[in-house]
Amino acid sequence: MPQTAIIKQKKERSINNAFASHYAKSMFLTVSALILLSFIGTRMFTHIDLNLYGYMVGTIVFIGGFFYRFIAWGERPPTKIFIKKGLKLLFRPTTAKTSVDHLAIYNFIWNRGIYRWTQHILIGWGCILSCFVTFPLVFGWMYFTMEENGYYTVVALGMNILHVKADGVLAFFFYNALNFTAVMVIIGVCMALYRRLKNMQARAEQKFMYDFLPLYLLLLVAITGLLLTFMNIFLHGQGQPIMSLIHQYAVIVTLIYLPFGKLAHIPFRPLSVFVKNYREHYAKRSMKECKVCSESFVSTEQSNDVREVLGTNDIHFDMEDGFNLAELCLPCRRKYRISRFSGIATHEIKVKETNQNAKG
């Protein structure tokens, strides 16, 4: 059998042919994995909390929206390049440090000011910790059983992993984990709203639907969550059923909105590690010098990739002077464009980088 026929036969047997699109395959495999984990975690669906059904539906809709947004973004030529090369560089020695800087301590925001860093830490980790608590409970991966001797048993994926005293310190943190994260989110959101209302540059750039709405949604989720605890402790459960529905709707709306608004950068953030590895790795190999000022401004690999992507989209910036516009650093590129439109000689143009040393 010819080699081409063998390759064609293998392609016909590929799992991709069983689905209409990458999106359909991603959704099917993900939802199947969730159901399987829930089957294991709930001991064959014998421990299911139907009060959390709405959160489960909202989470599945969120996953669908996330895959839709991610696949549409991932199909772009520039994205394909850095994802493909980023995966190859994933096991670099510096990946762990980069991951901590970008995903844990937000070191890249520290340079913008301690105020913005604090608000991002509070909002980011408040949301992440809430997800770590909520999702295992929603899908039954973790739950608690009460014994007659005054102890709770923590069950994870169908296995008893921990016994805690019902009125002990550890149980107190278990009970109030979402209350702590709600307070973190409220403080962080209030700090963000204060900055957006008081900082003149921020006020000029803000849009209600894109910048303020996600903060209001987070605030609504956190406040209604705290009110549930307040009603349970101080009002002996009065009004809790209604507030529980309001909180559930707030969470569901936020989950549905999340992949399509500004909050989408939260699940997309891990890919920043790919970008960092890509830049650092190829920068050590070879740097591209600007054709005008001869200063190194980007790696040779990235410069070539930019030109390749532009060519893929049939966009060409070959200048009459014998170089490509992508071979110039940003200041020289601005000077060159200003010169072409104004007629002023390039060496007479003074250009200052926008927000070059921005703080706050």
| Predicted pLDDT at 356 | 43
pLDDT above 90: residue 14: no
pLDDT above 70: residue 4: no
* Residue with the larger pLDDT of the pair 209 and 127: 127
Last residue of a domain, one of 220, 238, 272: 272
Report if residue 14 sits inside a domain. no
CA atoms within 13 A on the CB side of 194: 10
* CA nearest to 127, candidates 106, 158, 96: 106
Report if residue 16 sits inside a domain. no
CA distances from 315 to 13, 76, 271, 321 (A): 37, 15, 26, 18
User: What is the number of structural domains in the chain?
Assistant: 2
Claim to verify: residue 171 and residue 302 sit in the same structural domain: no
pLDDT above 80: residue 350: no
pLDDT above 90: residue 129: yes
Claim to verify: residue 249 and residue 302 sit in the same structural domain: no
Q: Quick one: pLDDT band at residue 257, thresholds 50, 70, 90?
A: very high
Specify the amino acid at residue 14.
S
Report if residue 281 sits inside a domain. no
Q: Quick one: pLDDT band at residue 48, thresholds 50, 70, 90?
A: confident
Claim to verify: residue 243 and residue 309 sit in the same structural domain: no
CB within 8 A of 59, min separation 6: which ones? Answer: 135, 138, 139, 255
Claim to verify: residue 229 and residue 312 sit in the same structural domain: no
SS3 for 82?
Answer: helix
| Predicted pLDDT at 355 | 44
Report if residue 11 sits inside a domain. no
Claim to verify: residue 242 and residue 293 sit in the same structural domain: no
CB within 8 A of 237, min separation 6: which ones? Answer: 231
Most confident of 112-121, 144-153, 298-307: 112-121
Claim to verify: residue 137 and residue 76 sit in the same structural domain: yes
Claim to verify: residue 38 and residue 181 sit in the same structural domain: yes
Domain, as residue range, for 208 = 22-272
Claim to verify: residue 115 and residue 33 sit in the same structural domain: yes
pLDDT above 50: residue 193: yes
pLDDT tens-place string over residues 322-346? 777 788 888 888 877 777 777 676 6
Specify the amino acid at residue 30.
T
| Predicted pLDDT at 188 | 96
Claim to verify: residue 245 and residue 321 sit in the same structural domain: no
Report if residue 207 sits inside a domain. yes
The whole-chain average pLDDT of the chain stands at 84
Q: What is the mean pLDDT of residues 189-198?
A: 91
Claim to verify: residue 301 and residue 258 sit in the same structural domain: no
